[in-house]
A and B are shown apart, each in its own frame.
Chain A
Amino acid sequence: MRWLTALRLRVLRLLKRNRLDRELEEELRFHLEMREQENLASGMRPEDAHLGAARRFGNRTRWQEMSRDLFGFGWLETLAQDVRYGLRGLAKTPGFVLITALSLGLGIGANTTIYSLFKAVMLSEVTAAEAERLVRIDVASGTYSYPGYSELAESGVFSGLAAYTIRPGGGLNWRWRDETSSVFPLLASANFFDVIGVQAAFGRTFTAQEARSETNPQLVVLSHGFWQRRLGGDPSIVGRVLNLNGRPFTVLGILPRGYRSIEIFGLAPEVYAPISSLLLSKPDLESRDHHYLSMFGRLADSVTREQARAGLAVTMERLKNLHPKDPPGRFAIRGVYPISGVDRLLQDREVLPLVAFFGVLAVVVGLVLMIACANVAGLLLARGAARRREIAVRLAIGAGRGRLVQQLLVESALLAALGAGLGLLLNLAITTVMGRVPLPLPFPVEFNLAPDGRLVIYAAMLAAVTILLCGLLPALQSTRPSLTPALKRDEPQLGFRLFRLRNGLVVGQVAVSMLLLLAAVLFVRNLMRIGSADPGFDTHSTLAVEVDLLSERNSERQRETFAQRVIEQLRAVPGVEATANATYLPLSLNNWGTMMRKEGSSEDARFRVTIHPVGHDYFAAMRIPVLRGREFHSADRTGAPLVAVVNESFAKRHYPDGDVLGQRLLEGAVPVEIVGVVRDTKYLTLGEEPRAILYKSCGQSSGGTSFVVRTAVPPASVADAVKQAIGELDATAVVKVQTMRDHLAFAFFPSRVGALLLGTLGMLGLGLAMVGLYGVMAYSVARRTSEIGIRMALGASRATVLRMVLKDGGLLVGAGTAFGLAAALVATKPLAMLLASGLSATDPVTFIGVPLLLAAAGLGACLIPARRAMRVDPMAALRYE
């Protein structure tokens, strides 16, 4: 093993460098002395003997170095040398190192943070055994009914098919030590944990056998977070009982820490319970028309996703024939795809807007990094220029150009490593803060933002790219071998060329910064427009109240009775102007529907209708204008003829010609008469298109214990009084009171986050570009000090000098702005489809305001160098010529 011997010798050399050096020295000396003796013996004079030996030997230093190189690790040693030299050099210019490290740190930090966010939100994996064998089943209507699911589960296409639902509209009532609060549950089919295949950390999970819904199982499994937060992390809770919805549920076990639920995106249910009539209403369990379950399955061995999908399609065909009365579209399969990871993102259409948003963010931080790199490149160029003489000397005495370039690159690498380190620290800081900030979401989320190996690799890659971008050009530039001028320190030409290069960089920076800011501001305006969209009802003087009653008091009639009592009670609270109830509040993630048909049409003509049951005087309380007819009053209760109110969109869509008032619709066999039309409101999201909604009267359908309370005074001041008043009526109820604005905070949340992120990044990019501009201007003024001195000596006033400097700076900023604007006009066109109506892709406010902002910032950046130029003392400047 030749290489092993060689390696051994080399390692030896490395460790005992001095000894081997001495030995080499000794060996060569022996030879020379022997030769000298020979020469003496053959009669030469002593001086000649010595010289003769040396001459015959050849260039001794050369032979020594050749031997030394053979034994050394060659490149490794030169690298170590370069690192040491580079560190010394950097230590001498701390200011430069600081600015560079900060620029790179900010650029890399921003990039890695976005990456962490993306990974945590979109790519988080589900905790499950062999998660790649789990697939989501996407049916035509998104969710499915329980009887439908049961049929599918029996079909045997998968080795296990499970279903679950997360009820965001309100949790389960949980009674614990005299306090009633809400827990956020995941209701699952009996085989849920069997299909997922996860072990509990304490106790166990429920099995398919014991959790069958027919047996009304009272079992529950807790999440780790819930167990820690609300039960104090006491392991003895396993086997004990939690009072949920008024009934005792045995705690079977606790899931492990860091368990990520099937719903990904960070959603973290607090308890897991089997589906049964204890937790779901009868219609939910038995109706084929109530859709709310999400389904996933485990692929059988050696079955692919496509095969499973095909098998499923066949089963659906069979079921379609079994249920001829169901709408055929219900049995369509939209897709079977992985439950998490990149594959899911690529295939799940609902996720697409989020992915697009992250895409925009990624581009933005990429641009910020580019600006930072340009800064660093410019600084390195200037530094290289200052070391011109040193490099020329080294080239002159024989250093190879490659070697010098390597050394300069090593310096850049050290800077990049420093920047990457800072960037990672920044990432850590931001993600830690973000992990602590509570989000205004109606359900608990847990994001796993902890850094991992992939993050470090990503940061290293970024650092490598920045080295190449920032370091290569300056290194090559600096070592261009035209030695004599460098040695003589006389290079007006070179200085000029360098200057132009740096100028080019700054123009580029300004252009990119302009592009960045334009895009950012455009999007911020877009998001704010969406965010401030009028939801269609009063948001400033209204309270949103949600009350959850114990299940034994929660029948439809009991709810309605309770609601009426609450309305009475609240009338007496000072400051309250109007109160109304509803089954749920708008923009609270509730999306109810049912199938209806027009009176006189056939069964096949049924269509899906979005339903919102509201109480009497609801529209008045919400200040939603009643356009025609009337709204509900207290007479519209059980026993009275069924009535409904529709919104404008509904009237337009289903009764475009002719009067909608008096028309009747049939739900099943039950007729409902339309008695009023109201203005459109937002129902599910703030950004949605107008939706057709049919309002039923609470008193005639499901009853409602959500309330809207309109106040004459600022609503927050009445909140406590309202809460107390309701509490007096039923102490076991969970009462949640917030201002309507807060309730909508969830709907505003995406706009706010987006605006914050983009705005910050845009500002960051601008700041970095301005630092670059300042650097170039300062350098230019310093270079031209003698020229300025001469001008002033010849009579130029300070004002003239100021104008001269500002003109130069202005040219740079102007050129950059022009390029940036041109690029933006082209680049934002394709983004037009993402923008809200009313905002064009070349929005004048943005396209005029941002350049002005940039010009102002540029002016600021030039100011300090300009002032320094003005204060040049002509005598001093000329003296240092």
Chain B
Amino acid sequence: MGTGQTKNKGELVQGTLDMLILRTVARKPMHGFGIAQHIQQVSEDVLRVEEGSLYPALHRLELQGMVDAEWGESANKRRARFYKLTPRGRKHLAAEESNWARVVDAIARVMETA
């Protein structure tokens, strides 16, 4: 994916964070910690999310109807809140993805012709 839209030191702007979260839970329902782990591992530590900021983002997505949340059991039998992608969320994700691709493309073209 290359460098994301960053502010300083790997912090993510709100819109991008939402997109990453949705993509993560599109694979399978996850709790907040799992989402944080996933993003860190898959991006090989480049994308550093201040982990607590996930939660307001998750709750906002929940209010907007992009994800559903449920209490469930974690891998080590602890109670955790799991987030699942909804059809609306899926649609929004697709839209954001294609938008993102266009932006990245455009930036790349500008950088090449410099």
Q: Are A5 and B55 in contact (CB under 8 A)?
A: no
In the complex, are the beta carbons of B33 and A34 less than 8 A apart? yes
* Residues on A with beta carbons closer than 8 Å to the beta carbon of B74: 30
CB contact between B80 and one of A27, A35, A56, A71 (< 8 Å): that residue? A27
Residue-wise, chain B 77-90 has the 8 Å CB interface mask toward A (1 for contact) of: 01111000000100
- Complex interface: chain B residues within 8 A of A2 (CB): 64-65, 88
Which residues from B are CB-within-8-Å of A30? 31-33, 74, 78-81
Q: List 22 A-B contacts (CB under 8 A).
A: A2-B64, A5-B65, A6-B64, A6-B65, A9-B62, A30-B31, A30-B79, A31-B55, A34-B33, A35-B51, A56-B51, A58-B51, A58-B52, A58-B53, A59-B52, A63-B55, A63-B56, A66-B56, A67-B55, A67-B59, A71-B59, A71-B63
- For residue A26, CB closer than 8 A to chain B, the reply is yes
Q: Which residue of A lies closest to B69 (CB)?
A: A27
Chain B hits for A33, CB < 8 A: 78
Q: Which residues of B contact A58 (CB under 8 A)?
A: 50-53
B78 & A5 in contact (Cβ 8 Å cutoff)? no
Q: Mark A4-44, 1 if CB is under 8 A from B, else 0.
A: 01100110000000000001001110110111000000000
Chain A 56-111 residues near chain B, CB threshold 8 A: 56-60, 62-63, 66-67, 70-71
Chain B 33-47, CB-CB to A under 8 Å as 1, else 0, gives 100100000000000
How long is the Cα–Cα vector from A23 to B65 in the complex, in angstroms? 19
Contact B65 A57 (CB under 8 A): no
Kindly state the interface size class of chain A when it binds its partner: 20 to 34
- Chain A residues positioned under 8 Å from B64 (CB to CB): 2, 6
Q: Tell me if B's interface is mostly helix, strand, loop or mixed.
A: helix
Measured in the bound complex, the distance between the Cα atoms of B71 and A544 in whole Å is 95
Interface residues of A (CB under 8 A from B): 2, 5-6, 9-10, 23, 26-28, 30-31, 33-35, 56-60, 62-63, 66-67, 70-71
Q: Kindly state whether residue B60 has any CB partner on chain A within 8 Å.
A: yes
Q: How far is the CB of A498 from chain B (nearest CB, A)?
A: 42
Report the separation of the CA atoms of residues A6 and B59 in the bound assembly, to the nearest whole angstrom: 11
Nearest-Cβ distance from residue B17 to partner chain A, whole angstroms: 13
Q: Write the nearest CB–CB distance from B22 to chain A, whole angstroms.
A: 15
Shortest CB–CB separation between residue A179 and chain B, in angstroms? 80
Q: Does the CB pair B52–A60 fall under 8 Å? A: yes
Count of chain A to chain B residue pairs whose CB atoms are closer than 8 Å in the complex: 65
Question: Which B residues touch A6, using CB under 8 A?
Answer: 63-65
C-alpha gap A782/B31 in the complex (Å):
64
Flag if B50 contacts A70 (CB, 8 Å).
no
State whether B32 touches A27 (Cβ < 8 A).
Answer: yes
List 5 tightest A-B contacts by C-beta distance, closest first. A58-B52, A63-B52, A66-B56, A58-B50, A57-B52
CA distance A305 to B79 in the complex (A): 78
Docked-complex contact B55 and A26, CB < 8 angstroms: no
Assess the A31–B59 pair: CB atoms within 8 A.
Answer: no
Quote the shortest CB–CB distance from A235 to chain B (angstroms).
65
Q: A6-B65, A27-B80 are in contact. Are A70 and B53 (CB under 8 A)?
A: no
In the complex, which of the residues B55, B62, B78, B79 has the most CB atoms of chain A within 10 Å of its own CB atom? B55
Q: Smallest distance from the beta carbon of B21 to chain A beta carbons, Å?
A: 14
The answer on a CB contact under 8 Å between B52 and A28 is yes
Chain B, Cβ-Cβ closest to A28: B55
Return the contact of B53 from the options A9, A27, A63 (Cβ within 8 A): A63
Smallest CB gap from B81: residue in A = A27
Which residues does chain B contribute within 8 Å of A10, judged by CB atoms? 63
- Contacting pair A70 B63 (CB below 8 A): yes
**A35 surroundings in chain B (CB, below 8 A):** 33, 51
Q: Smallest Cβ distance from A518 to chain B, in angstroms?
A: 62
- Among residues of B, the one whose C-beta sits closest to the C-beta of A54 is B52
A31 in contact with B65 (CB, 8 Å): no
B87 to chain A, nearest CB (A): 13
| Chain A residue with the shortest CB-CB distance to B32 | A31
**Inter-chain contact B59/A70, CB cutoff 8 Å:** yes
Chain A nearest CB, measured from B88 CB (Å): 8
Structural contact, B56 and A67, CB atoms closer than 8 A? yes
How many angstroms between the C-alpha atoms of A23 and B71 in the bound complex?
10
